[in-house]
Structures are given as structure tokens and as C-alpha cells.
């Protein structure tokens, strides 16, 4: 399919230049300022209410509510600020006295509260919750649509021309049930709006623009479908579009405005597809309706192209749309995603000022498209408002302004006093207390941000000319380090691929047909012995190569891997049966290992001069141990295999590498690449074959100077025993093994966030990650609701062929693994309670395991690692420390997830857990080299952590060199300095 938009990853400066060019000579900023200054002055003389609050809470079980309040309030600044408006003053007073009380009464976080304190604490908690609910009303119009309509009616009695766009708050749907519930809420809301519609004011020509004079509604597509994402394109078009059309029909029949909300940039292209399909429906069923529209975000570097595309759709379908222009709400998330994925750039502007420029350029573009678009400008910035009024005037363009409920009241009071004909709509969130928090936090952050107009407006120390300074000049460079520069100049962040972007994934799909898996020769005992002797002979020469040269060689390998990323990905899909996203991440990890260990070697393996008495020099030197045996598993056949090998090599060892039997081709390709990059053949040999023969022979070989093993705990034990019984030198074993990884979810956790983390951690890569979640521990009070949501989300997963981009869960590695997992699942079917299972097509029954979740009685019921998409769930209550102790007692210590909104609780659990990698409020897989050094303890391994600063040392021998510099007859330097 032809993309509708250009690539999101383009250089920012030329885009900004182009935006400025479209405004040049067409916007008189000083004239806009002259108008805006009067408004600002008036607002400052008579300010509207303004609030700042940083921390919020909801009411879970009493125990937790107290801890949450104590924790949050410890950091909160509830300073209210009021213009004397009585409800607001009341709220401010209530908030600050609740805080003051809370601070006095609440026990220290972490200490179990005593009886008296608890009584006091409960009272304070109740008062604080009440205060925050009141504060919520500042930004949320009503708990449900009827309440919101009442409130809208009340406001309209003061300002008869005021219109509202209702926004039903809520998270994106994780389940079909949530999506249907959200749709029902919208259906209900539209009917209520229509029923309560007040007659539009008489002065306005209702004509074909009735939607301008009526209240409307906004809908969020991600809340109407659990898989609204590019990879599920076919499903979205087949399922989501028909789900939205009845809402369009209702809105069209009533002639009200219905706006599709804007979401993240990886859905932008998809959103236009959906919008076009919906427009086709409107064209057919309601061609005279003028209320359909969508929101466009100015922070998108493609904003002008989006507007052009919307105008093109309107013309092609002979329709007219309403387009809301916003700055954009997901900026921080967009920046983080691009950095994490190592994307070629940012899809959004990195300087706030560039977004301001883009807003004005987009406003002009919308005004230019007035034949097919009626713009709705959502801004509280006085300068922007004045500029829009100025740009719209010559064309007499129809438009409206929008402000958020609870914000921008002062500015618009003045704007409307100056231009009573201007149309103003209030964007009005509607939602229950539980849905309100995330929205509220956003608003409060926005109000609190120093750079925000509303904040500066309220701060009378910011002079007028600064507040209204022209944004019309480009800022130099990027406002954020480019994703590739995330780790500074010394180590480039490996380049990634945005799979949601068709042109980006093209090279991968093109490489797929060429990926073939050749058969390999297995080594026999004589070949193992011969290889070890060759390596032993070659080790000294390799060790003598200066560290800097060995490091440079790793960097060359990284460059080559980077250049061949699509090829390696395709090979990993083919041989390792992994999905595309996992493969891209794995190749990036392998590149990262090369660069990271190169850097570590340069900085850490150089000789160190040590202090000592005069007449003596002391130096600590590190060098290779000899021949290192590296044995790796199949589940990361490039990253783990490669990471072990390059670490051992850069430390000066010769390496005998034995990959897993299931994945020899990836290993062969990487070893060939290392040889091409310059690693001598007698410093690195690849030996294929079964672990029990080839692996065991390597471990037992008398020339083995160290073993680096990643795999199961059972095999690690076998290796440990072999090494222990050897009569030769005592050699080190680095073992990274499996885990019984748990996630602790307390009653404050955000259910949607938990479900995302659980699904990703337990089922991604078909659960075949050592870090994968095996044991989900959910607090009793939320377990039923959470399990229901989890089951709904599991029902949405796609089990399929790994090369299909829509696949979430691919096959397990081989028939043996399949049989073992099926046996375990059958046992659980007998002994445990089935909670949920993802549907699976019969075609995949012999190769795949459908993601499945069972409830088990106790943490202790899980004894061994189950290496597949099988999740065990236990409920817990009471003391969280006791739960941590039971998890520790399992003896493994690899990964742990914690889901809580109580920071101090998360830290306490982490401190008590004997676990190597702890993840709070996110998934627990995908450790990044040098960012989350990875590895466990106990039955999970020996350490040191792979991708961490201590790893290379374990591959080295140390030598202390002490030289008596006075041996020639005297201490020359001492004597030379003496009188």
C-alpha cells in the first residue's frame, strides 16, 4: 500500500525552514502581540483560578491507602493559589490543610503504623481523597455524561454561545469487552447530547454548519479496539471501522461534531486509513453532514502533510471536515520510544519552539483549506490566538477556538470581550474518579511546566515581551540527543527499525526469501581435541595483540553486523523462529555487546599503576586466561552466543565456541563475520554438535582455561561438577541460567499497565526468554478484575507464523520443547485452575503453544522453570515482605517485576529481593546492554552480569608486576631529589 505520509524520521531543520517559509510575509507577529498584550494584561489584573498539584491518589485497601498517602504527600506541594473564587479557595484550603495534617499524622513510610496513628491516618486519607476529588472537578466536567451536560448547561447560562466537546476519559482498550463498553458509553453519550441539545443561538446560520453551534464529542480509536496498531492493519480495517460507523450515523443524524482523537505517531498512517474508510461511509450515508473530523497534532514533523492528506480526502469524497489542531499530548512517550528503538530520528519536534512554529504554519494551512476544512484551534496561548484571528480575517474563514475545561478561562474571557463573535468550544473530559487520575496528572504537569504559556501567564514576574516573544525563528540543532547518540560519543546506540513504518520494514521483508539455513558439520571427539590444541597454540599471539586493536576489531564487527541487520534478522526468523520485532532487538543487542565490550576493554583492561614505597614500581596487569569455552542456548543464538565470544576474545582469550544444536546457522554466520573483521582462525573456532558430547568434551578438555555457559540450571550443574572433578588447573565458570521469575502486583497498580507488562513479559517470544514472567502474584483485592482483563488481552493475541508481521506469538523451538510444554500444561489442567488461553488455529497445534494462564495454590507449587508461554498466577494478601521471602526461598534470582504506585514500597521490595534484575512498573524483559546489565544469582547463575562493567574481569588473569627500581645499587630518583 502506498504510504500517505512521508517518512517520520527526517532532519528537523529543513522541515522547520519550510514551515517558516509558509509563514513568511503572511503573519504580522508584532500586530498579533499588540492585541495579545492587552488580553494578558487584563488577565493578570484579574486572574482566573490556577492550580498546581503534583501527586494524586485513589482509594485502595485501607492499609495501602495510608502508605500511598504518606509516600505521595511526602513529595507533594499542594500550594493552592486562588483569586478569591470561593469553591476554589475552599479547595486550596482543604488541600493544604489535608497535607499539613497528613504530614503531622502519618507514620513514616515503611514503618508499620501504630493504632492511634492509623486512626488518625485514615481520617487524613479520607480528607485528602475528598480534596483531590474536588480538585479533579477543576479539570473534569462530570463523572458521567448527564452530570457533564448539567454542568455545561450551567456554564452556558453565563455564556450562551459556549459549546462543548465531550471526551469520555479512559485508557486504551486492552480487551474486546472494554472496547465494547467504551463504545456503549459513546453511543449513550451521543444520544444524551442530542437529547439535551439546547436550541442553537438565533444569530447563527445553521445551514450546513450546524455542528459548529452544537455540542459534540471526541472519540479515541484505541479505546474502541484492543489492537489498534499498524501490525494488525487488516483486523483494524475489518473490525474497528464497522464499530465506529454506528456512532458516526448517530452524530450525523443529529448534525453534531464528532472528532477522532489523535494518538501516537506509530498509528498516524493507520489513523488516516481508518479516517478515509470512515469518510467513505459518511460520503455514502450522510453526504451533507459537516460535523465529522479529526484532531491533528502540531508537534508531528509531518503536520502539514497530514493536513494536506485530510483536505485531499475531503475533496475526493466531496465532504467537509472539522479539524482540531492541538499541540500534541504524547511528546515524552514519542521521544522515549525513538530512543529505545534506536530510530533514525524523532517523529516529533524536539524543540518546543518548533512546535509553536508548526502550530502557526498548520493553522495557516487549515485556513487556506477553508473550502473543505473548518478548523478548531485548541490553544490557550494569547499570542497564538491573536495570530490565528489575524490570519483568518482576510479570508473570512470559519473557525472556532477551543480550550480545555479548567484552563484558559482568563485569556478567553478577554478574547471574547474583544471579539464577541468568536466561537469558543470547551474540550470537556468526562469520567469517573478511577479514569481521572492519568488525565489530571497530565494537566497538572502542563500547568506546572515552566515553559508552558499558562504557567508563565500566571507568573507575573515573566515580562510581557518574554511571554509573547516571537517563536518565528528556528532553534539550532536538535533539542534532544539523537537516538543514536543516547550513550554519548563513546558508544553509538545501535540503529533500529520502526516496524510500524512500512518503508522501514521493507528491507527486512526483502531479506526474508534469501535467508537459508545450511546444514553444518558436527565435530567428533578428535576434532574437538585438535581444535583445542590449535587454539592453545594460537592463544599467546592473540593475547599479545594490544587491547586497543582487539577492541577495534570488535567495533569493525559491530559495523558489519549493522550493515547486514536485515540479513541477520531474516536468518533469526528462519532458524530461531523468532518474530521480527524480537529479531531486530536481538541483532541490536549483539551490535551493542561488541561496542560495549570494546569500550570496556579500552577503559578497564589497561595496566594500572599502584602506589608503593619509593624505589619500587607496582603495576596490575590483565590478560587472557588461555582457551575459553563458550556454550550458549538457542533462544538468543546471536546476542548471547556473540556476547560471550566477543567478551572472551577482547579480554585476550582464544575461544572455542559451541552454539546450541538448534541454531548453528546464525552462529556460523557470526563467526565468519568475526574472521572477516580480523579475528585469527587460531583464536576462534566454532564447534557444532550436541551438548552431551561436544559441549561436555570441551568442558572436560585439559586445555580449557575457563567456561562461559548460558543455558539451563541443570546443565550448568553438570558443567560445574565436571570442572570440580578435573585434576587440571582450577578454572572459572561463568554461568547464566534460568529463573522462576515473579511479578508482584499490589492493590495500587494501574490495571492496564499491569496487563501490558504481563502479556509482554510472559508471552512475547513465546515465553522463551530466561527473563520471562512465570509467576504472577496479584493482590487479592484486585485479582478478579485483573485476571479478567488479562484473559481479555490474551484473547487478542495472535498465534502464528514468525515471519508474519501480525504475529505476536510464534512457535516454540522444536518438537521436544513442544512435547515437554504440553505435558506441563496437561498437568496443570489437572491440578490447577485454568484462567485463560489464547485461541490457536489448528494449523499451529503441533508447533506452537497457545499462551495460557493457570491459577496455582501457592508460590511454592512452582518448582522448575517452564520455558514457554505458560503463566502461573497466585493471589496474595497481608504482608508483602512475607511474599518476597517466599519468592526468595525458591532459590532462583533472575528477574522480578514490581507493580505499585507506592515508590517507597517498590524500593523496599527491591531491597529485600535476592534477584538480579528488578523492574518497577514496566515489563521485565529486554535488558539493554550497559543500561540494564543482566544476570542473576542463586540457581540463576554466578554473575558477573552480561553487558555490565564487571563482566570482562572474569575472563582475565591478573598479574601484579613489582620491580625493585633500586636494584642497580641505589634509588636514583630519591637520591636525585635529595639535598
Which residues form the interface with ligand NAD (CB under 6 A)? 631-636, 640, 658, 660-661, 691-692, 695-696, 699, 710-712, 715, 718-719, 736-738, 770, 865, 867, 894, 935, 941
Taking a C-beta distance cutoff of 8 angstroms, is the pair 287, 318 a contact? yes
Cell of 598: 570494546
Pairing mode, strands 616-624 and 956-964:
antiparallel
Which of 148/715 has CB closer to ligand NAD?
A: 715
Q: What's the min distance (Å) between Cβ of 835 and ligand NAD?
A: 24
Q: Cα–Cα distance between 489 and 482 in angstroms, integer?
A: 11
* Residue closest to ligand NAD (Cβ): 691
Which of 328/802 has CB closer to ligand NAD?
A: 802
Q: What's the min distance (Å) between Cβ of 865 and ligand NAD?
A: 5
Any alpha helices (H) in 82-207, and if so which ranges? 86-105, 115-139, 145-158, 176-195
Q: Cα–Cα distance between 913 and 177 in angstroms, integer?
A: 36
Which of 794/894 has CB closer to ligand NAD?
A: 894
Any alpha helices (H) in 159-229, and if so which ranges? 176-195
Which of 28/814 has CB closer to ligand NAD?
A: 814
Cell of 251: 452524530
Which of 569/770 has CB closer to ligand NAD?
A: 770
How far is Cα of residue 629 from the mean position of the Cα atoms in its chain?
A: 37
Q: Cα–Cα distance between 421 and 538 in angstroms, integer?
A: 87
Which of 346/596 has CB closer to ligand NAD?
A: 596
Q: Which residues contact 918 (CB under 8 A, 6 or more apart)?
A: 895, 896, 897, 898, 909, 910
Residue with the three cell numbers 523492574? 919
Q: What's the min distance (Å) between Cβ of 840 and ligand NAD?
A: 23
The question of whether 586 is a catalytic residue gets the answer no
Q: Which residues contact 459 (CB under 8 A, 6 or more apart)?
A: none
Question: What DSSP designation does 799 have?
Answer: B
Edge-to-edge order in the sheet of strand 627-631: 684-686, 654-658, 627-631, 704-710, 733-736
Q: What's the min distance (Å) between Cβ of 692 and ligand NAD?
A: 5
Q: What's the min distance (Å) between Cβ of 755 and ligand NAD?
A: 24
Q: Cα–Cα distance between 587 and 566 in angstroms, integer?
A: 9
Taking a C-beta distance cutoff of 8 angstroms, is the pair 900, 748 a contact? yes
Cell of 739: 529463573
Residue 432's CB is within 10 A of a number of other CB atoms, namely 13
Q: What's the min distance (Å) between Cβ of 708 and ligand NAD?
A: 11
Residue with the three cell numbers 453565563? 158
Taking a C-beta distance cutoff of 8 angstroms, is the pair 551, 599 a contact? yes
Q: What's the min distance (Å) between Cβ of 936 and ligand NAD?
A: 6
Q: Cα–Cα distance between 5 and 135 in angstroms, integer?
A: 41
Can you state the angle between helices 565-576 and 502-511, rounded to 10 degrees? 60
Residue with the three cell numbers 590444541? 533
The question of whether 736 is a catalytic residue gets the answer yes
**Gyration radius of the chain's alpha carbons:** 32
Q: What's the min distance (Å) between Cβ of 640 and ligand NAD?
A: 6
960 Ramachandran zone, left/alpha/beta (phi>0; psi -120 to 50):
beta
How far apart, in Å, are the Cα atoms of 358 and each of 5, 12, 246, 768, 859?
17, 12, 34, 45, 54
**Which member of 501, 569, 594, 770 is catalytic?**
770
CA dihedral for 641, 865, 820, 813, sign (positive or negative): negative
How far apart, in Å, are the Cα atoms of 338 and each of 165, 344, 658?
32, 8, 35
Residue 465's CB is within 10 A of a number of other CB atoms, namely 10
Residue 47's CB is within 10 A of a number of other CB atoms, namely 18
Q: What's the min distance (Å) between Cβ of 605 and ligand NAD?
A: 23
Which of 471/936 has CB closer to ligand NAD?
A: 936
Which of 691/802 has CB closer to ligand NAD?
A: 691
Beta strands in 721-867 (DSSP E): 733-736, 742-745, 775-779, 833-837, 852-855
Q: What's the min distance (Å) between Cβ of 772 and ligand NAD?
A: 8
Taking a C-beta distance cutoff of 8 angstroms, is the pair 846, 871 a contact? no
**Which member of 12, 264, 400, 736 is catalytic?**
736
Which of 131/630 has CB closer to ligand NAD?
A: 630
Which of 350/704 has CB closer to ligand NAD?
A: 704
Q: Cα–Cα distance between 797 and 108 in angstroms, integer?
A: 43
Q: Cα–Cα distance between 918 and 926 in angstroms, integer?
A: 12
Residue with the three cell numbers 522463551? 768
Q: For residue 323, which phi and psi values (nearest 5 degrees)?
A: -120, 120
Task: Single out the residue of 32, 46, 30 nearest to residue 413, CA to CA.
Answer: 46
Q: Which residues contact 203 (CB under 8 A, 6 or more apart)?
A: none
Task: Report the residue count for the chain.
Answer: 979
As annotated, the active-site residues are: 736, 770
Amino acid at each position: 500500500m502506498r504510504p500517505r505520509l512521508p517518512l517520520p524520521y527526517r532532519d528537523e531543520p529543513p522541515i522547520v525552514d519550510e514551515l517558516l517559509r509558509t509563514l513568511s510575509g503572511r503573519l504580522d507577529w508584532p500586530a498579533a502581540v499588540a492585541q495579545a498584550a492587552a488580553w494578558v494584561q487584563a488577565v493578570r489584573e484579574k486572574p482566573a483560578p490556577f492550580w498546581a498539584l503534583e501527586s494524586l491518589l485513589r482509594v485502595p485497601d485501607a492499609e495501602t491507602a495510608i502508605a500511598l498517602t504518606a509516600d505521595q504527600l511526602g513529595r507533594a506541594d499542594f500550594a493552592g493559589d486562588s483569586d478569591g473564587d470561593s469553591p476554589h479557595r475552599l479547595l486550596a484550603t482543604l488541600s493544604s490543610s489535608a497535607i499539613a495534617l497528613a504530614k503531622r499524622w502519618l507514620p513514616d513510610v515503611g514503618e508499620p503504623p501504630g493504632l492511634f496513628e492509623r486512626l488518625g491516618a485514615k481520617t487524613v486519607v479520607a480528607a485528602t481523597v475528598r480534596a483531590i476529588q474536588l480538585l479533579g472537578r477543576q479539570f473534569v466536567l462530570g463523572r458521567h455524561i448527564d452530570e457533564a451536560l448539567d454542568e455545561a448547561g450551567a456554564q452556558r447560562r453565563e455564556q450562551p454561545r459556549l459549546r462543548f466537546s465531550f471526551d469520555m476519559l479512559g485508557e486504551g482498550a486492552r480487551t474486546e469487552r472494554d472496547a465494547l463498553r467504551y463504545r456503549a458509553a459513546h453511543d449513550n453519550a451521543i444520544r444524551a447530547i442530542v437529547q439535551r441539545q439546547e436550541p442553537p443561538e438565533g444569530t447563527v446560520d445553521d445551514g450546513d454548519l450546524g455542528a459548529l453551534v452544537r455540542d459534540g464529542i471526541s472519540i479515541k480509536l484505541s479505546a474502541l479496539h484492543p489492537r489498534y496498531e499498524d501490525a494488525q492493519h487488516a483486523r483494524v480495517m475489518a473490525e474497528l471501522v464497522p464499530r465506529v460507523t454506528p456512532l458516526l450515523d448517530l452524530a450525523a443524524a443529529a448534525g453534531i461534531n464528532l472528532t477522532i482523537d489523535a494518538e501516537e505517531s506509530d498509528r498516524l498512517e493507520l489513523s488516516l486509513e481508518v479516517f478515509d474508510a470512515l469518510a467513505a461511509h459518511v460520503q455514502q450515508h450522510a453526504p451533507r453532514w459537516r460535523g465529522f473530523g479529526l484532531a491533528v497534532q502540531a508537534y508531528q514533523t509531518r503536520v502539514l502533510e497530514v493536513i494536506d492528506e485530510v483536505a485531499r480526502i475531503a475533496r475526493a469524497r466531496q465532504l467537509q471536515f472539522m479539524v482540531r489542531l492541538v499541540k500534541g499530548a504524547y511528546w515524552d512517550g514519542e521521544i522515549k520510544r525513538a530512543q529505545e528503538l534506536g530510530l533514525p530520528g524523532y517523529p516529533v519536534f524536539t524543540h518546543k519552539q518548533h512546535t509553536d512554529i508548526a502550530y502557526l504554519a498548520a493553522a495557516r494551512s487549515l485556513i487556506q483549506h477553508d473550502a473543505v476544512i473548518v478548523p478548531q484551534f485548541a490553544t490557550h496561548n494569547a499570542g497564538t490566538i491573536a495570530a490565528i484571528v489575524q490570519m483568518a480575517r482576510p479570508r473570512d474563514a470559519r473557525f472556532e477556538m477551543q480550550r480545555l475545561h479548567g484552563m484558559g478561562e482568563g485569556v478567553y474571557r478577554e478574547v471574547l470581550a474583544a471579539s464577541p463573535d468568536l466561537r469558543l468550544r470547551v474540550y470537556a473530559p468526562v469520567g469517573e474518579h478511577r479514569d481521572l487520575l492519568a488525565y489530571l496528572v497530565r494537566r497538572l504537569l502542563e500547568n506546572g511546566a515552566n515553559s508552558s504559556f499558562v504557567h508563565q501567564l500566571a507568573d507575573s514576574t515573566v515580562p510581557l515581551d518574554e511571554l509573547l516573544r516571537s517563536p518565528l525563528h528556528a532553534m539550532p540543532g536538535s533539542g534532544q540527543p539523537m537516538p543514536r547518540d543516547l550513550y554519548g560519543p563513546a558508544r553509538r546506540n545501535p540503529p533500529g527499525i520502526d516496524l510500524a513504518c512500512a518503508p522501514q520494514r521493507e528491507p527486512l521483508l526483502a531479506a526474508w526469501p534469501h535467508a537459508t539455513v545450511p546444514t553444518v558439520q558436527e565435530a567428533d571427539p578428535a576434532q574437538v581435541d585438535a581444535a583445542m590444541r590449535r587454539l592453545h597454540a594460537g592463544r599467546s599471539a592473540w593475547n599479545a595483540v594490544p587491547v586497543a586493536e582487539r577492541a577495534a576489531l570488535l567495533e569493525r564487527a559491530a559495523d558489519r553486523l549493522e550493515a547486514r541487520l536485515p540479513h541477520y534478522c531474516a536468518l533469526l526468523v528462519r532458524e530461531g523462529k523468532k518474530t521480527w520485532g524480537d529479531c531486530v532487538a536481538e541483532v541490536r543487542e549483539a551490535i551493542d555487546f561488541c561496542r560495549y565490550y570494546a569500550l570496556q576493554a579500552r577503559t578497564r583492561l589497561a595496566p594500572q599503576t599502584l602506589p608503593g614505597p619509593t624505589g619500587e614500581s607496582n603495576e596490575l596487569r590483565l590478560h587472557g586466561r588461555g582457551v575459553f569455552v563458550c556454550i550458549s542456548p538457542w533462544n538468543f543464538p546471536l546476542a548471547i552466543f556473540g556476547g560471550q565470544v566477543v567478551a572472551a576474545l577482547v579480554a585476550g582469550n582464544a575461544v572455542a565456541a559451541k552454539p546450541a544444536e538448534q541454531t548453528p546457522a546464525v552462529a556460523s554466520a557470526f563467526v565468519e563475520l568475526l574472521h572477516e573483521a580480523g579475528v585469527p582462525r587460531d583464536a576462534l573456532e566454532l564447534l557444532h554438535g550436541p551438548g552431551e558430547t561436544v559441549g561436555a568434551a570441551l568442558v572436560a578438555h585439559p586445555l580449557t582455561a575457563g567456561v562461559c555457559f548460558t543455558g539451563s540450571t541443570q546443565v550448568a550443574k553438570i558443567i560445574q561438577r565436571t570442572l570440580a572433578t578435573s585434576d587440571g588447573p582450577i578454572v572459572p565458570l561463568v554461568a547464566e541460567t534460568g529463573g522462576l521469575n515473579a511479578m508482584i502486583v499490589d492493590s495500587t497498580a494501574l490495571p492496564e499497565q499491569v496487563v501490558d507488562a504481563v502479556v509482554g513479559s510472559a508471552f512475547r517470544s513465546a515465553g522463551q526468554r530466561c527473563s520471562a514472567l512465570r509467576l504472577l502474584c496479584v493482590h487479592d483485592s484486585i485479582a478478579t478484575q485483573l485476571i479478567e482483563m488479562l484473559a481479555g488481552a490474551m484473547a487478542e493475541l495472535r498465534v502464528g507464523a514468525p515471519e508474519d508481521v501480525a504475529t505476536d506469538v510464534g512457535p516454540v523451538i522444536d518438537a521436544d520443547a513442544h512435547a515437554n510444554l504440553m505435558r506441563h500444561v496437561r498437568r496443570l489442567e489437572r491440578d490447577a485452575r485454568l484462567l485463560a488461553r489464547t485461541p490457536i488455529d489448528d494449523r499451529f497445534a503441533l508447533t506452537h503453544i497457545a499462551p495460557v494462564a493457570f491459577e496455582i495454590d501457592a508460590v511454592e507449587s512452582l518448582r522448575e522453570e517452564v520455558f514457554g508461554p505458560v503463566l502461573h498466577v497466585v493471589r496474595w494478601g497481608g504482608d508483602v515482605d512475607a511474599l518476597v521471602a517466599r519468592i526468595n526461598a525458591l532459590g532462583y534470582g533472575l528477574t522480578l517485576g514490581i507493580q505499585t504506585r507506592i515508590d517507597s514500597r517498590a524500593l523496599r521490595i527491591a531491597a529485600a529481593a535476592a534477584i538480579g534484575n528488578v523492574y518497577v512498573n514496566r515489563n521485565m524483559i529486554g535488558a539493554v546492554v550497559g543500561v540494564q546489565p543482566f544476570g542473576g544469582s542463586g540457581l540463576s547463575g554466578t554473575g558477573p552480569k552480561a553487558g555490565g562493567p564487571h563482566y570482562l574481569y572474569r575472563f582475565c588473569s591478573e598479574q601484579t608486576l613489582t620491580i625493585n627500581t633500586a636494584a642497580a645499587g641505589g634509588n636514583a630518583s630519591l637520591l636525585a631529589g635529595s639535598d
